[in-house]
Amino acid sequence: MSKGEFPGWHGTTIIGVRKDAEVVIAGDGQVSLGQTVIKGSARKLEAMLIVTDGSVLLVSTGAGVVLEPEHGIAAIGSGGNYALAAARAVIDGPDSAEAIARKAMGIAADICVYTNGHLTVERISD
């Protein structure tokens, strides 16, 4: 297989949600190589990172750029856009940050073949 044909790793979908005094970061457990699931219960982050101190939610890129996302939601990785859209759709409702992150990751897992429902959820509050 030539370098141009290598299917590539697909490593992660991560979402961060900040609502009221609660910040939650959730990530799926799937690591894929091409169309093959290598591991379904991994705990990970990738070159782009979602970081928080419990009050501010930031995205740090591999190039050293730090961004504060709009609407209190950041999502990265292969299913990041799906998770972001799902979270933005429900952020103004009554759900907690954790409930929003779980719903958004569930929707991403249903749509993105590189995302699964095996979640690791970390709650950080100030």
pLDDT at 15 over 60: yes
pLDDT at 89 over 90: yes
* Three-class DSSP labels, the chain: CCHHHCCCEECCEEEEEEECCEEEEEECCCEEECCEEEECCCCCCCCCEEEECCCCEEEECCCCCEECCHHHEEEEECCHHHHHHHHHHHCCCCCCHHHHHHHHHHHHHHHCCCCCCCCEEEEEEC
Provide the number of structural domains found in the chain.
1
Q: What is the mean pLDDT of residues 42-67?
A: 81
pLDDT at 1 over 50: no
Based on the residue annotation, tell me whether 12 is a catalytic residue of this protein: yes
Between 17 and 45, the higher pLDDT residue: 17
Q: Which of 65, 62, 68, 70 is nearest to 87 (CA)?
A: 70
Task: For residue 83, give its domain range.
Answer: 3-125
pLDDT at 90 over 90: yes
Residue 35 to residue 24: CA distance in whole angstroms: 30
Residue 11 to residue 114: CA distance in whole angstroms: 8
Q: What is the mean pLDDT of residues 107-118?
A: 93
Q: What is the CATH number of the domain that holds 78?
A: 3.60.20.10
Q: Which residue in 12, 36, 52, 120 is the catalytic one? A: 12
Q: Whole-model pTM above 0.85?
A: no
Tokens representing 20 are 């009221």
